Structure 1
Amino acid sequence: MSVFKSWFKRYTLTTKLATRYYSTGVESTYVRFINRASRIGFAIGVAALIIGLSLMNGFERELKNTLLSAIPHVEYEAVDGHLSDWSKTATQALQHEKVVGAAPYFKLNAMVQKGQQMEAVLLKGVDAILEPEVSIVPKSIREGDWLSTPSSDINAEVVIGSGLSEKLSIGVGDKLELLIPSYSETGKLKAPSYLVYQVVGVYHVGGQVDQGQVFTSISPLVEKQGLSITQAQGVAVSFEDPFAARTLGSEVGQLLNDYVYVLDWFRTHGHVYNDIVLVRDIMYLVMVLVMAVASFNIVSSLAMSVQEKYGDIGILKTMGLSVAQVRQVFVMMGLLTAVQGIAWGTFFGIVLGLNLSGIMHFAETLFNFKALDGDVYFIDYLPSEVNVGQVVIIVTTALVIAYLASLYPARKASRMNPVELIQ
């Protein structure tokens, strides 16, 4: 107990000395300018890092909730072209605890024709009931309805994306003409088949998904390919965490009896996620370097403060202040300089991070520009999400940098001879 009281008294004394020296300031105008520059540097570094990471968090959130909700996390595609019984494959996949949904699919490259206009699309046959378990598209219908279960070719239905609908001026109730490839029994390419479907719905997800995918019921499509309704090209699976699809996809693949390709979403859209992660890492490195540069100002200002306080240091040492206490006084002075900048940077970073979407929307309206094109990207606005854990890491990193920068001049002050200092 006595040891604790002794430590507490020493700590209180050094804190009072550091606060008094810091509040009274230094005589040199140049040193005061360096202190301000140091605070501004820390404030800019902390605020920019919080805002930048919040922006990357927003993109990652929208990637998960928008793009990765519209595409399968993993597809198990038959090596020989089709699964003999897709329901058995889906049942085996659902045995894994991380799988939240499984649905069959059959995909064909096709050409959409309207008058003289033609567009390449991916015609995807899906199960109208099971597809909502692996894709958000059925819940993103903007006009019309999702697919029903047609019993004949006469009732064949399709759902198209808003981008394709606007490009070809096709809406709900219109006929959609499709050309799909046909093959002979020997596998040779024949003249394309000509199909006519009725548009029953228009979905809107965002980005290229709205322009390149057309959904129809799987049963009529596989029958046109000479297969039975129990057969499919593959089974699409969704997970609780799409970012773990690469690992979980392999685990689920080991549960299947079929000989399949394991195709995760990283194969087609992984570059988007990799870009987010890369920018986030580079941003963190750059901002840490900005704070490191600001910390050199702390070294300079403390070194000059030590020179101005030669006499005070000598008197304090003569009165019994230990080497460790002198070092603590100047370390605290350096930290007080950094803490002000860190506090302002944290405040402005959190405020701007929480309101970044609204601020950018106001700027876009005021200056009549668009930061993100919804036809190219999967969103048309700047998202933002402040992560408390990241803010704590940023503040801790800044404090550690300031502490390390304060050690050298504080150590130099503590080693001075009191006799020489008083002279």
Structure 2
Amino acid sequence: MAEPATNPSPFSRYEFLIAWRYLRARKAEGGVSTMTWISLIGIALGVAALIATLAVRSGFRAEFVDTILGANAHTTVYMSPSSFTNELTGEVYTQPGTIADYAGMAKRLAAVPGVIRTAPVVKGQVMATADDRANVAEIFGVTDKDFARIPRIADPETSIGTIGDFDRGIAIGSGIARELGVGIGDRVRLIAPEGAQTAFGTTPRVNAYEVVYIFSAGRYDIDRTRIYMPLAEAQSYFNREGVADEIEVYVDDPENIADWSLPLMQAAGDGAQVWTWKDSSGSFLRALDIEDDVMFVILSVLVLIATMNITSGLIMLVKNKGRDIGILRTMGLTEGAVLRVFFLCGAFTGIIGTIAGVVIGVIFALNVDHIMSAVNMISGGGAWDPSVRGIYELPAKLRGVDIAKAVGLSLALSFIVTIFPARRAARMNPVEALRYE
């Protein structure tokens, strides 16, 4: 006796062959329609835009964080300000806190687990002038050893001058050098409002220093305002003899800098406070995260609109293939088999469009610098203003998780919108389909 026939397993080879045959058929035979091509191109462009946008946003954030951590301390430890009352006038004055035993405090902070290094710093605001040009600047007084260990500042590829000459002059940002029109060997006058105490009051302190080093930290605001000075000279210039304003602390995991706040305050002693790099830039980073989520949602809507065209194309395909569906049903194909055939037709469109979108998006992300250069050339420059965005170029960072998110979203939407027309084809009555044939 012959064995009874068994139904083939779902998504068998013949289902793929039929679906691929329908997609490859000429339009006159009821095959691939204009709507299918529109949906495929739309999905490709939507996925490419999503990948490129996520890559640029990731690159911008990584570059922004790198410029912060490469030119600034991960956290600073300072003393709380003190107040005193003038006995004659009764007015209350507040003095910024200073650190007298800064060497001992720096040693205690360096002993905290996870701390890489510490550096005492003297800070102050000055007016920098050269000839008839002037610019406001912030002075950082550091030791020679600490200055040579600042990654973005002590970079020989982006700097001019010899870092070993730091002990006999000052180091200035490339933005200040450009605005003052000075170079290596020129002298810059620094004017501090709080200078020497005289019988007539406080007179501004004016000193001239030789420029021995010009750096570019990669951040417009830093290069335009920052000047480094030897620690001993800064102490003398700002009347901070024997004290420091704060201790800069560098840790091995700056992304989790909050974990060190309490241990550092305990090691520093009573009255110590900490200010992390996330405290100063946290609002901007949170804004970037919010923008990332919003951009993903907006571009997801574009991908959804593109995938909806698959529904239109499949509905037209089902209508044109009504006779074929009737014949297949009379030959023994089940409703599930017909559903899977037309589901595969839509899935193929989504998969091909997604693959094309990934290729286009990756190519765009890898060549974003050249694209921005072309945009700058066409627009006459100014398409990327570092004074507004803080960094000098538009970076892109391809991450596997971003590509996976774009691919997963596109495929999920493509598969979901395919179900409705595929079910319509499966429920078609074969008698009605063949009645007028």
Matched letter for residue 205 of structure 2: S
Partner of 1:212: 225
Deviations 1:114-161 (A, max 9, x none): 3454322111111220234445213356332336575xxxx5x21111
> Among the aligned pairs, what percent are the same residue?
26
Deviations 1:269-295 (A, max 9, x none): 445544543443333222211110112
Partner of 1:167: 179
Tell whether the 8 Å contact from 1:103 to 1:134 is kept in structure 2 after alignment.
no
Deviations 1:184-233 (A, max 9, x none): 99xxx83322333232222122412111111111123224555554x321
Q: What is the DSSP-based 3-state SS (H/G/I as helix, E as strand, rest coil) of the residue aligned with 1:195?
A: strand
Structure 2 gap segments, 5+ residues each: 1-5, 82-96
Given the alignment, which residue of 242, 267, 283 partners 1:256?
Answer: 267
Matched letter for residue 340 of structure 1: I
C-alpha separation between the residues in 1 aligned to 2:283 and 2:204? Answer: 34
Matched letter for residue 268 of structure 2: N
Matched letter for residue 57 of structure 2: M
1:92 to partner: Cα distance: 3.7
C-alpha separation between the residues in 1 aligned to 2:260 and 2:29? Answer: 65
Q: Is residue 2:289 matched to residue 1:288?
A: no
Q: Is residue 2:331 matched to residue 1:331?
A: no
Matched letter for residue 47 of structure 2: V
Tell whether the 8 Å contact from 1:26 to 1:32 is kept in structure 2 after alignment.
yes
1:102 to partner: Cα distance: 2.1
Tell whether the 8 Å contact from 1:122 to 1:213 is kept in structure 2 after alignment.
yes
Q: What is the DSSP-based 3-state SS (H/G/I as helix, E as strand, rest coil) of the residue aligned with 1:139?
A: coil
Partner of 1:182: 194
Given the alignment, which residue of 392, 405, 410 partners 2:422?
Answer: 410
Matched letter for residue 91 of structure 1: K
1:45 to partner: Cα distance: 0.3
Tell whether the 8 Å contact from 2:362 to 2:398 is kept in structure 1 after alignment.
yes
Given the alignment, which residue of 370, 373, 392 partners 1:380?
Answer: 392
Structure 1 gap segments, 5+ residues each: none
Partner of 2:103: 87
Q: What is the DSSP-based 3-state SS (H/G/I as helix, E as strand, rest coil) of the residue aligned with 2:332?
A: coil
Q: What is the DSSP-based 3-state SS (H/G/I as helix, E as strand, rest coil) of the residue aligned with 2:118?
A: strand
C-alpha separation between the residues in 1 aligned to 2:29 and 2:294? Answer: 38
Q: What is the DSSP-based 3-state SS (H/G/I as helix, E as strand, rest coil) of the residue aligned with 1:316?
A: helix
1:165 to partner: Cα distance: 1.4
Residues 159/183 of structure 1: CA separation in 2 closer, same or farther (3 Å cut): closer
C-alpha separation between the residues in 2 aligned to 1:44 and 1:363? Answer: 20
1:59 to partner: Cα distance: 1.8
Partner of 1:131: 147
TM-score between both structures, scaled by the size of structure 2: 0.82
Partner of 2:3: none
TM-score between both structures, scaled by the size of structure 1: 0.85
C-alpha separation between the residues in 1 aligned to 2:9 and 2:342? Answer: 18
Residues 267/309 of structure 1: CA separation in 2 closer, same or farther (3 Å cut): same
C-alpha separation between the residues in 2 aligned to 1:99 and 1:51? Answer: 37
Given the alignment, which residue of 191, 194, 202 partners 2:206?
Answer: 194
